[in-house]
Amino acid sequence: MEKIFKKNICCIGAGYVGGPTMSVIALNCPDYRIDVVDVNKERINSWNNIDLSKLPIFEPGLDKVVENCRGKNLFFSTNIKESISNADIVFISVNTPTKLKGIGANYASDLSWIEASARQIAKYSRNHTVVVEKSTLPVKTAETIKTILNSSKEDNTNKKTIKGNKTFSIISNPEFLAEGSAISDLQNPDRVLIGGEDTESINLIADIYKHWVDSKRIITTNLWSSELSKLVANAFLAQRISSINSLSELCEETGADIEEVSKAIGMDSRIGSSFLKTSVGFGGSCFKKDILNLVYIARSQGLEKVANYWEQILVINAHQRDRFSKKIIDCIEKNNLEPKVLLLGLAFKKDTNDTRESAAIYVANNLLNSKIEIGVFDPKVNINQIQFDLSDLNENYDKTLVKFIQDPVSNISNYNLIAIMTEWDEFKEFDWQYIYSKIKKPAFIFDGRNILNIEKIKKLGFNYTGLGRK
């Protein structure tokens, strides 16, 4: 006998947000049926792969959640029509990249996938459907979705679509996930934000989260506050990273140590220690995109000084990547080294295979533009992704200068210079004494994450360069 579920949920988009979020909802709400749909057949096949190591997303703990729920109340498919038709609630969790052309190009979000999803909901839904914005969106996007959905309602009255009355409620429920800790973030969120105009629909979404989240951590707002809050949250986090990164350069000039400065100011309860770790620059799918969106919204409202303030965060981020690249290039030229660098890490942070906007890609591109050969090793990123990222940034790059390294230690004799780009724990645990015995001399380490012990590394014989440290 087929199980009867309390509610049917459809999520359009099986990416970094949709897949993990729906998996955790399925885990905590066994009386709800969750269908995650996507037009990408290869991605759906990966979600359905018996070998859980082949899931399209690497997140610690995700494989266990999927294993527990898949085939019971969690399903992945390309059958968008059927899933929407059967759904009481539809989450939109699709990509919203920065526009590359048209009004707002290089700043505003491209909402074409959001609009396409809204049209699918308008076409295939039945009766009343609660539509939930899960993607990160610019404020007032709900108006665009409303326009599309309401046109369907009118068409239905004129018998141009399927029979039956269609009504919709729109809810904003932005995600606040950090890649690498998404499952724990979902299981133990700081807060769940639900914005809307219809109390009944707000309560319906709140009831989902109340299965495992304390109601005190569920915040309700109007639609516009919810949409804007997500952009602002990411902008504030990125602001802290760019602030500490800007000071790392000042530390290098004054003799201060950024790690000591960061610790000192982080102990101030008014500031806190989160996001005060200096690095070669932030990456990921959200920070840059959301700040550009915030800048565009401010400028569209005539708030030029506000826009300039937030845009400076991106200026500092790009500067940090470029000056780190220059340190490496200058070292090669000054010491007359063979123009080759081993890059450790390509993911934008540890515990994820996501390389979107990774600082490592930009540094790699800068090195390639200087005709420097790069060997790339990352424990979770494959050669196809590396080639895609580099070609996406610079389609004319010289492929012959890129080597994919499966075992960096055994290949170390080919290099004088190592650059740490991602803070993977295993890099800290490398046998650096053995590496020093095999690497070409003089040997250099450029630590773009400040993860190594300076005294120990220097004692081994390495020439060490970090960020904000002498």
334 is catalytic: no
Q: Let me know the angle formed at the C-alpha of 457 by 455 and 458, rounded to the nearest 5 degrees.
A: 65
Write the DSSP symbol of residue 52: G
Spatial distance between the Cα atoms of 451 and 470, rounded to a whole number of angstroms: 15
Give me 410's structure tokens: 């055994």
Catalytic residue among 10, 99, 134, 175: 175
Catalytic residue among 230, 289, 340, 349: 230
CA distances from 67 to 23, 38, 78, 97, 179 (A): 10, 20, 20, 31, 20
Nearest by Cα to 10 from 71, 92, 65: 92
Write the DSSP symbol of residue 158: T
Catalytic residue among 10, 69, 251, 286: 286
175 is catalytic: yes
User: How many CB atoms are located within 10 Å of the residue 388 CB?
Assistant: 12
Q: Let me know the angle formed at the C-alpha of 305 by 301 and 307, rounded to the nearest 5 degrees.
A: 60
Q: Beta strand 7-12 with 167-172: parallel, antiparallel or unpaired?
A: unpaired
Report cis status (omega within 30 of 0) of the bond before 442: yes
| Segment (H or E) for 116 | helix 112-124
Nearest by Cα to 88 from 35, 143, 15, 45: 35
Are 386 and 346 within 8 A, CB to CB? Answer: yes
Spatial distance between the Cα atoms of 79 and 89, rounded to a whole number of angstroms: 16
CA distances from 389 to 8, 340, 357, 382 (A): 37, 20, 9, 11
Write the DSSP symbol of residue 126: -
286 is catalytic: yes
Write the DSSP symbol of residue 216: G
Write the DSSP symbol of residue 53: G
DSSP string, 397-435: --GGGEEE-S-TTTTGGG-SEEEE-S--HHHHTS-HHHH
Q: Beta strand 192-196 with 167-172: parallel, antiparallel or unpaired?
A: antiparallel
Are 195 and 227 within 8 A, CB to CB? Answer: yes
**Residues with a known catalytic role:** 175, 230, 286
